[in-house]
Amino acid sequence: MKRELVPNRNINGEITVPGDKSIAHRAALLSILSSGPVTAVNYPDNSDCRVTLEAVRKFGVEIEQNDNAVVFKPPHQIKLPDDTIIDCGNSATTARLLAGLVAGSTMEVILSGDDFLSRRPMMRLVTPLKEMGAELFDQEGCLPLKIKGKKLLPFEYRLPVPSAQVKSALILAALASRCSLLIREDTLTRDHTEIMLGQIGEGIAVREIKASMVPDPKDPRKKKVFMPEDFKKEIKLTSGARVKGGLVDIPGDISTAAFFMAAAAIGRGTLTIKNLGLNPTRTAFLEHLKAIGCKVEIKDKTTLSGEARGQVTVTGGTLKARKVAGETTVGLIDEIPVVAVMAAFAEGTTVIRDARELKVKESDRLAATAANLQRMGVKCGLLDDGLVVEGTTELPGADFSSFGDHRIAMAFSIAALFLEGPSSLDDDSVVAVSCPEFYNLLESIKA
């Protein structure tokens, strides 16, 4: 539905955001392979996570929904008719992780998705899964994907694209097939699968390679950075790795909270988010807020189910431009649209590079962000791998398009708060993909 967006610069208060989508998908999907029940506390109710619930139900997992938790009871034996079609809707995490799981099983499944998901690349996982011995039939590199599960071979792989979805697909494939696996990452990506398997399973070992300072042989008075390996992380699964079941307590989703924190940042307000996920592979947005001139305070930090969490208070200030590139871009992968919105209200010119991956998200997020920024009068350049955004003051209201993408809809609903006149969004329903509560939460922190 079309939504009218009214300016309101006063953003203050305290909220909790729904549970982390990435962690929720993993808890549900791992339950298919589990020997005992998996209880996911704070499982979010959004359309992506509902798609995953329906998918795991097809594998015979019994689902009990209580007030605050979803209990997944795995079947004794998975019985799935050949060529069962599983509709993954808009959710790439569901499709990609399930592709791995089925590839290593004895099942034959067809994975499909909506028009948006059907355009997203699948070869990044089809190629390594075929190398492991799986049989997959893609549609020119995309869904629908027919998968004939096979007993897979032990596998070693260095991720060519920094993608937590590909990494997790391979882990689920190895788990389903009970074969050993070694994955190396050059750039750290979100590690919820590894953490969860360590918590509710066994047979996984993770080694993070840390840099140290050593005397420089050319000048012993100086020190230089030494990396003992040429990769950042190694994940090993033994052939005995398995899921046993247990409790997964899901913290608030930092990628959803980012929109509200951005509103406080631009409006120079103070916003507290309780029980927010603080896994270090996901906190680049907090570092970004600090780097552009905000205050970020963390209280009550604790770890549950292996996942760090705490109370975060953001206080906005005079925002400054910053160059975002390399590992920082990977860390901000889902936050780039709202990072670009903040850049429009910052002093100076923000350059975002190494963000080519954004072209194959729920929409082409580089083009969608640039188009909406230009509609609100911002000078914005579209690069092959990023954006250049010139900060401006006193921008007029605009008619935004969501491009069918929840994060574009939320990013520009935030931008509209700080424009000089009313704006509109062509379709607000897409926010339901990750946060149906978005407009209610936003209302609750407006003065």
Site for ligand S3P in 20-59 (CB under 6 A): 22
Binding mask 53-92 for ligand S3P (x = CB under 6 A): ----------------------------------------
- Is 334 catalytic? The answer is yes
Residue reference for tokens 């089809």: 126
Q: Encoding tokens for residue 331?
A: 């860390």
Q: Report d(CA 153, CA 351) in Å as an integer.
A: 44
In terms of Cα–Cα distance, which of 375, 417, 415, 426 is closest to 398? Answer: 375
Note whether 405 binds ligand S3P by CB under 6 A.
Answer: no
Q: Which of 20, 48, 191, 334 is catalytic?
A: 334
* 3-state DSSP of 235-258: EEEEEEEEECCEEEECCECHHHHH
The C-alpha angle with vertex 47 and arms to 42 and 51, in degrees rounded to 5, equals: 90
Cβ nearer to ligand S3P, comparing 161 with 298: 161
When binding is defined by CB under 6 A, the residue of 34, 42, 93, 283 that contacts ligand S3P is 93
For residue 72, with 0-12 CB atoms within 10 Å meaning exposed, 13-18 middle and 19 or more buried, which class applies?
buried
Q: Among 3, 146, 150, 190, which residue sits at the site for ligand S3P (rule: CB under 6 A)? A: 190
Find the part of the chain contacting ligand S3P (CB under 6 A) among 132-140, 147-155, 159-167, 202-210: 159-167
Tokens 């993070």 correspond to: 208
E-assigned strand segments in 258-294: 270-277
Least CB distance from residue 25 to ligand S3P, whole Å? 6
Other CB atoms closer than 10 Å to residue 393's CB: what's the count? 9
Nearer to ligand S3P, 243 or 395 (CB): 243
Minimum separation from the CB atom of position 250 to ligand S3P (A): 13
Report the residue number, 170 or 445, with the smaller CB distance to ligand S3P: 170
Listed in sequence order, the residues at least 6 apart from 294 whose beta carbon sits closer than 8 Å to its beta carbon are 264, 265, 314, 315, 316, 317, 319
Q: Does 363 bind ligand S3P (CB under 6 A)?
A: no
**What is the per-residue binding string for ligand S3P in 309-338, x denoting contact by CB under 6 A?**
------------------------xx----
Active site residue ranges: 334
- Interface positions with ligand S3P (CB under 6 A): 22, 93, 163-165, 168, 190, 333-334
